[in-house]
Structure 1
């Protein structure tokens, strides 16, 4: 991890990105994203999850694909510009609730049987990643799952790398840790790890 303790990227960073380009990471059109979303959904071993929390839903492209497997899906993002698109995309999906929220400073009060952290963890400082991890573990029901999916090449602006994020959570699966590691995949430009609360 970066020794000079970089700061978490602020909501304004994302607002500027979305104001400049309505789909800045090509979530809607990229073959890379399409393949990654398919791998993300295929990695989930259950056909149905009653309470799901998606951190960093952005435009809601993955949210809409995940929704049919959810009883209730709380999808959050820091950028209102992104959420406006997510709300429109998921308008016909009554199980989806979309909220502006800055995790870990803000966090929902309910518990979950699935938390999805996809392409978000490397935006946090090491301290905020640690705080978020504590809150995720506390919010997961016993047997609840945490799915991590992150781009692995380093990005100059980002406080952490995808590998930093996954290594931090995997350290919590060692003997006596609160999580266990169910499965992992490493692709050319991203990795995926599925953890479960003991």
Structure 2
């Protein structure tokens, strides 16, 4: 437990995201493979809803993210969804990864959708606050870190209850482009300059 706390502390203090081109399909496959071996996920079906064929593009679709941190976000959302379905003893538990394009901006929109019990009323925003948790065992760090990661990547993340059952966590990722790379370079240069100014005071 102490190692986990130290890792979380280091993660929270490391505000510099290492943004770059990341194969979206490989990242999703990696995350789903890591959560599948969990003993409590055996009966939970994970499916991918990719009606637009974003994962079938050639060359593969790339997003402009920190690969390691964004994989963490996806794993966290998948594990939460699996646990929600399992603990609620949902009759036919299912977790769905849905992929869409933003209608007007160069973003891929990814949703993790479950058919579990959903979130308590009023908790769709509170779940992202640090130390907030609905679990009996938990530190309340996971979703707060997820929001921190997505914010630093110039994206957004939100939660909502589904009309029928369960809830959805949705976040967006910039599509890889020269413009995204250039903006990242400008932001990093500005951050380095601010750091230099602070250290010379």
TM interval, shorter chain, is under 0.3
Normalised to the residue count of structure 1, the TM-score between the two structures is 0.25
| Higher strand residue share | 1
| Higher helix residue share | 2
Normalised to the residue count of structure 2, the TM-score between the two structures is 0.25
Structure index of larger Rg? 2
